[in-house]
Structure 1
Amino acid sequence: MATTQNCALIVGVTGMAGLSIAQALRSPTVQRGPWLIYGAARRPKPTWFPSSAVDHYITFDAVNFDETHTTLSPLSSQITHVFWAAIHVGRTEDDNIKVNSAMLSNVLKVLTGHTQPNKVRHVTLQTGTSQYIDLVYFMGFADSAQHKPPFHEDMGRLPYPHFYHVLEDMVKSYGSDLTYSIHRPSIIIGASTRSVYNFLLTLAVYAEICKYQNAPFKYPGNKYTWEHFCDMTDARVLGEQHVWSATNEKAKNQVFNCTNGDVFSWRKMWGVLCEEFGVEFVPLDEGGGLFDLVESMKDKGEVWDKIVEEKGLVKTKMEEITCFVAFQYVTRFNFQMVNSMNKSKEFGFFGYADSFKTVRFWIGKLRDMKIIP
């Protein structure tokens, strides 16, 4: 049995956020340390995952209650904090709601059903700043005056189903038995082959294929996003915010945006990406129509296989590590994707990062991990 006062269960530990949460818990400056850390994922530990990040790596399918119960019930007398960084992205929002709510419900039921009073005290729930937009600008559901950027935590929910709402309501339903904090990152930038929306790895794969085929590295978005502002979230800042909220009484039962605290234009960021990937900068073609990245990449899986083989990289499949549809979607907004960090700062969290340095740092990490050349 563990004698450590605080015991963390990180669900989704192999994703960009999950790994950064584990590393934040290892920080010598973290409050209430040291921590005993269980890292959970659906699949076995990937070769690039640092063994020192967690004390115990466990696997189970959280959708399956029996499997979840078998794995977690022996740990229910130890785990004090749940860090939720898992996500399922299905074909429909009904599917998203069904699967994501089942996963969280199963984990919490097991951990709160075996010890009285509950050993687990706090849940950090990761959702996203897409809660403020999603279909709002495309289907006209929301009051445009209410949902103009910069987006802030007090904005009301958009009037259509979203799995984020269901997960939030679930953690809130435990009342005084369990405190929570909800974290809404923007575009997460980190290093993992197991994250659904990994824009940096998507761009890296795209750039390497362009370089391999001597093709231009074109921007797939519109003139608006090329010139106007956007924000992003360094996975390290996100991990720090999760841990801060779990160890700070003032942050309990609160919702926080999480971004780097600065903004960038894709025009400027495209130049940084070109420098890092060694491809020529191609200005936006304002008169030629939008470049369809999704269509361009749909048959490039074999090209990526060749790059992986020739460069001796970690074995990956292009379809599993990229999100061309999501990236193209974000680069075609007609509004500035900017989220306020004022509430976080008012509550005492001052984590920040330079977004251009963020991109350079994580490209270096992806190379160190042999995921990209």
Structure 2
Amino acid sequence: MLRASAHKPWTFCEIRPDAIVGFVPQNNAMNIAQALGLFLSLWRAVEGEGSTVGFPGSVEAWEAVHTDTSQDILARFHIFASLAPQETSERAFNVVDGPATTWREVWPEVCAYFGLRGIAPESSGAPFSAQKWMEDHQSEWAKWISTNGLKDGALEGTSWEFMQAVIGIPFRRDYDASASRAIGFEEVRAHAEGYRLAFDEMRRAGFIP
């Protein structure tokens, strides 16, 4: 980019999010919030309100530190960066919702949105697979969609493998956002809140009841 922009009337800024938590109305197969929202909604329909949902990953993934990035915080940093070229030109910035978190902190809150109780993974044996659970209950998808008047195609268009892969990351991957904070971008949000906002949008769009 430095070479491409040399002697040109434009410059650039590299913006780096972690896993983007958000919603798109036309479906997105590789969307962690969409996949979790559909999985937990169907779980509630099948297993009942108040039921427990084991974390679909290993103990290492449960404890691994990470940072999510809400779509609107990411969008607002793009605007912020474009309006402050003297601070952002030819630089790279990590953009995250807030201080690092773990699934131990986020999973119970994400499940609570659906009236469910999120619990820790088993300490031994193979981790619970949300991907396999969704595939095993595929015969119930059509009735669930019809009964609740939901958008067709979202379940079929979601990558459960992607969901399982993101949730199952067993190593630390938190981003350092000190550079974006240092130039005055101070917006923060609890990581679970980003999921709740995405689920609200999914409800309004008829992806989940």
Who is 2:103 aligned against?
266
Who is 2:34 aligned against?
201
Change (3 A) 1:284 1:347: same
Who is 1:185 aligned against?
17
Task: Give the deviation of 1:337 after TM superposition.
Answer: 1.9
**Partner residue of 1:355 out of 169, 175, 191:** 191
Q: Distance in 2 between matches of 1:286 and 1:303?
A: 30
* % identical equivalent positions: 21
Q: Deviations over 1:102-130 (max 9, x none)?
A: xxxxxxxxxxxxxxxxxxxxxxxxxxxxx
Structure showing greater relative contact order (alpha-carbon pairs closer than 8 Å, 6 or more residues apart): 2
Q: Distance in 2 between matches of 1:236 and 1:340?
A: 19
**Partner residue of 1:369 out of 198, 202, 205:** 205
Who is 2:160 aligned against?
324
**Partner residue of 2:85 out of 223, 236, 249:** 249
Who is 2:68 aligned against?
232
Q: Distance in 1 between matches of 2:83 and 2:118?
A: 45
**Partner residue of 2:146 out of 288, 304, 309:** 309
Q: Deviations over 1:41-93 (max 9, x none)?
A: xxxxxxxxxxxxxxxxxxxxxxxxxxxxxxxxxxxxxxxxxxxxxxxxxxxxx
Q: Distance in 1 between matches of 2:45 and 2:150?
A: 15
In the alignment, structure 1 segments of 5+ residues that lack a partner are: 1-168
Who is 1:173 aligned against?
4
Who is 1:18 aligned against?
none
In the alignment, structure 2 segments of 5+ residues that lack a partner are: none
Q: Distance in 2 between matches of 1:324 and 1:365?
A: 20
RMSD: 2.3
- Count of equivalent residues: 203
Who is 1:287 aligned against?
124
For residue 260 of structure 1, give the secondary structure of its aligned residue in structure 2: coil
Who wins on radius of gyration, i.e. which is larger?
Answer: 1
Who is 1:340 aligned against?
176
After TM superposition, the score normalised by the length of structure 2 is 0.85
Q: Deviations over 1:172-220 (max 9, x none)?
A: 5243243222211111111224334211110111112222222863322
For residue 98 of structure 2, give the secondary structure of its aligned residue in structure 1: coil
Q: Amino acid of the residue matched to residue 159 of structure 2?
A: C
After TM superposition, the score normalised by the length of structure 1 is 0.50
